[in-house]
């Protein structure tokens, strides 16, 4: 109910909406509307009430709740269903549970804070309250399971494009799933899949974006290797503007894939890549080797020239580092 009230008030663009109109649109009593308005004020919303005029939003807290998202969303598929938490262990875990229960394509799970957020290879991801964008997206694509890893590349390109649109900051993508600024990690992407031999049941793409995390509050182990948009820009960045732009970019790329396949996405990814052309160290489960990252193939695998042969490196198996 509160989400619907927020959506209506936001769409009034600073104008008043009467309690009677809200009650009629939402099929509840004016008393119920008043109680929800009081609850929204307790959450930090500045809502002005005026006799014979109604209610209007004066200022909003920096929240990513459904009402805020729906007021600014630009998509037709992604984010039309929103599952919101103030705090959760992992949005990816919750998204997988929802997907297994039949959640429709485009559903997102978003939380203000994660307690056990994680990246690739089970690494932890610092996800403090209201300082970043921590969310997961459910997709049910028609392409084959072997193409699923390329969804990580799609998400990285979408986020890079959205960051530039909202902040003007140019970032680079480190294969396969990190977005960097001047060598420091800004974004992580984790893609997980449930599939059969010839079909995908669902894909969950988890995305963690450091938006307004200060360097001072970062854990000691990541202070030297991570950064945030506010640290780069020197000012607070709107999380809701960035999230809705990320969803818009993701939807555009996803629809492009359905029309033309992954080739356009791979081309875009290469333009953002900070891995290709670099001398790297590949750390695998059973071996470690050095070489130059020369390309990615049609399935998103990294091609590394060791000087003796071209090694094909899969994202699920390894870590890569700059060669020293």
| Domain CATH code at residue 89 | 3.30.930.10
Cα 314 to Cα 134: distance, rounded to the nearest angstrom: 25
Residue 148 token pair: 């699923």
pTM score, whole prediction: 0.89
Q: What pLDDT is recorded for position 177?
A: 82
Q: Is the peptide bond before 176 cis (omega within 30 degrees of 0)?
A: yes
Same domain, 122 and 5: no
Residue 62 banded pLDDT, cuts 50, 70, 90: confident
Q: Are both 90 and 163 inside the same structural domain? A: yes
Q: What is the mean pLDDT of the chain?
A: 91
Binding residues for biotin: 90-92, 114, 118-120, 185
Does residue 208 have a pLDDT over 70? yes
Instruction: Provide the number of structural domains found in the chain.
Output: 3
How far CA 137 is from CA of 162, 193, 197, 291, 319, in Å, comes to: 16, 12, 22, 34, 24
What's residue 133's pLDDT?
Answer: 97
**Are residue 180 and residue 44 in the same domain, yes or no?**
no
257 and 176 together in one domain: yes
Q: Is the separation of the CB atoms in 169 and 130 below 8 Å?
A: no
Strands (E) across 11-107 are located at 46-50, 54-59, 82-85
Based on the fold, state whether residues 34 and 179 are members of the same structural domain: no
Looking at 30, 59, 88, the residue that finishes a domain is 59
Q: What CATH code is carried by the domain that includes residue 284?
A: 2.30.30.100
What domain range includes position 137?
66-272
CATH code where residue 53 lies: 1.10.10.10
Write out pLDDT tens, residues 308-322.
Answer: 999 998 875 567 777
**Residue 137: exposed, middle, or buried by beta-carbon count in 10 A (0-12, 13-18, 19+)?**
buried
Q: Which residues are annotated as a binding site?
A: 90-92, 114, 118-120, 185
Q: How far apart are the first and last CA of the chain?
A: 56
Which DSSP state fits 14? T
Overall residue count recorded for the chain in this entry: 324
Mean pLDDT value of segment 244-266: 96
Does residue 194 share a domain with residue 209? yes
Clarify whether residues 283 and 268 are in a common domain: no
Site of tokens 């619907």: 4
Same domain, 104 and 199: yes
Say whether pLDDT at 48 is over 90.
yes
Residue-wise pLDDT for 90-106, tens only, equals: 999 999 999 999 999 99
Q: How confident is the model at residue 124, as a pLDDT?
A: 62
pLDDT interval class at 122 (50, 70, 90): very low
Is residue 114 domain-shared with residue 213, that is, in the same domain?
Answer: yes
Residue-wise pLDDT for 134-159, tens only, equals 999 999 999 999 889 899 999 999 99
What is the tens place of the pLDDT at every residue in 280-296? 998 887 788 999 999 99
**Could you tell me where the beta strands, DSSP code E, fall in the chain?**
46-50, 54-59, 82-85, 108-111, 132-139, 172-174, 178-181, 184-195, 200-210, 279-283, 288-296, 302-305, 310-313, 319-322
Tell me the percentage of the chain whose pLDDT exceeds 90: 74
- Which residue in this structure is represented by tokens 């004066």? 58
- What is the per-residue pLDDT for 149? 87
Asked if 192 and 112 count as a contact pair (C-beta separation under 8 A), the reply is no
Q: Which pLDDT does position 97 carry in this prediction?
A: 98
Q: Poorest-confidence range of 39-53, 117-131, 212-226?
A: 117-131
Does residue 277 surpass a pLDDT of 90? Answer: yes
216 and 266 part of one domain: yes
The last residue of a domain, from among 59, 84, 99? 59
SS3 228: coil
Residue 116 reports pLDDT greater than 80: no
- For residue 318, the model assigns a pLDDT of 61
pLDDT tier for residue 120 given thresholds of 50, 70 and 90 = very low
For residue 119, pLDDT over 70 is answered with no
Cβ pair 133, 245 in contact under 8 A: no
Do 299 and 205 reside in the same domain of the chain? no
Domain boundary, last residue among 252, 272, 292 = 272
pLDDT reported for residue 117: 55
Whether 169 and 204 share a structural domain: yes
Find the mean pLDDT for residues 190-211. 95
pLDDT score for 13: 86
């Amino acid at each position: 109910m509160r989400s619907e009230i927020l959506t209506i008030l936001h769409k009034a663009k600073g104008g008043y909406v009467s309690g009677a109109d809200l009650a009629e649109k939402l099929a509840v009593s004016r008393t119920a509307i008043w109680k929800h308005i009081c609850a929204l004020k307790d959450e930090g919303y500045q809502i002005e009430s005026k006799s014979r005029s109604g209610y209007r939003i004066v200022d909003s807290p920096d929240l990513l709740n459904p009402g805020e998202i729906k007021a600014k969303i630009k998509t037709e598929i992604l984010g039309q269903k929103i599952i919101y938490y103030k705090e959760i262990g992992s949005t990816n875990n919750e998204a997988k549970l929802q997907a297994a229960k039949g959640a429709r394509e485009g559903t997102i799970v978003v939380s203000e804070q994660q307690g056990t957020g994680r990246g690739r290879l089970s690494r932890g991801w610092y996800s403090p309250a209201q300082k970043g964008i921590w969310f997961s997206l459910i997709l049910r694509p028609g392409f084959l399971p072997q193409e699923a890893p390329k969804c990580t590349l799609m998400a990285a390109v979408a986020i890079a494009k959205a960051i530039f649109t909202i902040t003007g900051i140019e970032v680079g993508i480190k294969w396969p799933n990190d977005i960097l600024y001047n060598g420091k990690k800004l974004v992580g992407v984790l893609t997980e899949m449930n599939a059969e031999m010839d079909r995908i049941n669902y894909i969950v793409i988890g995305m963690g974006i450091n938006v307004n995390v200060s360097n001072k509050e970062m854990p000691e182990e990541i202070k030297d290797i991570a950064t945030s948009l506010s640290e780069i820009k020197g000012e607070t960045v709107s999380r809701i503007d960035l999230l809705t732009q990320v969803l818009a970019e993701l939807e555009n790329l996803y629809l492009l894939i359905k029309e033309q396949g992954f080739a356009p996405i791979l081309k875009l990814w290469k333009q953002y890549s900070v891995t290709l052309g670099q001398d790297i160290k590949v750390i695998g489960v059973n071996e470690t080797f050095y070489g130059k990252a020369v390309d990615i193939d049609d399935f998103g695998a990294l091609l590394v020239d060791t000087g003796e042969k071209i090694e094909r490196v899969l994202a699920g198996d390894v870590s890569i580092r700059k060669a020293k």
